[in-house]
Amino acid sequence: MSTLVELPPEKYDLNAFDNFKPNLTNFTIENAQALMWFSQLAYETGRPETIRSVANVNWGFESVSPFARRQVGIPTNFETCGIIGERRNAVILAFAGTDPAVWENLATDFDIEVDEKSNTHRGFQAALEGVLPEVDQAILTSQKAAKPLFVTGHSLGAALAALAARHAVDVRGIVPAAIYVFGMPRVGGEQFRAAYQTKLGSITYRLVHGLDIVARIPRSGSNYRHVGCLLQCVSGKKFNLTQLSNTGLDEPDLGLAQSIVGGINDLLSGNVLAPPGPGPFGPLFRVLPPPIRDHLQDRYLTALS
């Protein structure tokens, strides 16, 4: 991971887990906020001191284990990063999303052929299979300690979270307490969707902020389908629990009209530039197109605050 996706420790919300309720499988804004912060922490696998100071000292985790696996070769390239955290009342598995400075992440994202065996995005599937020992470790920790397992991630990490949850059910016979995913791309086809919805659809909460372009690809017309319960919010606004959908919506999709309307609304409201972001490159975020800017981690964190 690079400074493009990392945050200084002082930028983390020290109270992010104050209202986390691990006994609830239904959606709560408080759980979503905590798990989005934990998803952000998964981007810090190259800075273990940040993980320790934030999760152990400030959030009260008993242990946090970062992992990173990398493969370079033909036909598969990936770098999969994440963290496993254990609290007194829960185990959380979080995956990092795409770092644009890591070419292996981009190789994963653009390997968009559907895997015939799993009916999933070939790049995502390979990136998940590269860390199955770590996924199994999180599942085993949850079982041994009799603590609920939460799975989460942002962007590419959200796709990996969905695949990890399916692995937990299909291979290990363990149903996670809930799966919270942020800015998730479509992960698989109709066969994958049908099986996933039956077992995990009602406890998978898929959040989409504004015009987030990643949540709209691959397009539904390319035989990919979304999973879980959808919660959307307008760009720059807050997520509202009352707008959580039932399972089964294959939205949003990539549409030119929506981007144009969003751009016009920004101009009319005087928002010519996007908001700046955190970190050393934060000022440059102002020139990003809204569909990209709306996808970044801080926009989700703000919409949940």
Question: Are the beta carbons of 41 and 53 closer than 8 angstroms?
Answer: no
Q: What is the pLDDT of residues 173-209, one digit of tens each?
A: 999 999 999 999 999 999 999 999 999 999 999 999 9
Whether 188 contacts 167, CB under 8 Å: no
Contacts of residue 177, defined as CB under 8 A and 6 or more positions apart, other chains included, come to: 22, 24, 25, 90, 148, 149, 150, 203
Angle subtended by helix axes 122-129 and 156-170, to nearest 10: 70
Reported as a single tens digit per residue, the pLDDT across 204-235 is 999 999 999 999 999 987 889 999 999 999 99
The model's pLDDT over 63-111, given as tens digits with 9 standing for 90+, comes to 999 999 999 988 889 999 999 999 999 999 999 999 999 999 999 999 9
Tell me the β-bridge partners of 297: none
pTM: 0.94
Task: Return the closest-CA partner of residue 214 out of 123, 42, 97.
Answer: 97
Beta strands in the chain (DSSP E): 63-71, 78-87, 90-95, 114-115, 120-121, 149-154, 178-182, 204-209, 229-233
The pLDDT score that the predictor gives to residue 254 is 82
**What are the φ and ψ backbone dihedral angles of 185, each rounded to 5 degrees?**
-75, 165
How distant is the alpha carbon of residue 193 from its chain centre? 18
> Could you read off the pLDDT of 28-63 as tens digits, one per residue?
999 999 999 999 999 999 999 999 999 999 999 999
Domains of the chain: 9-255+295-304 (3.40.50.1820)
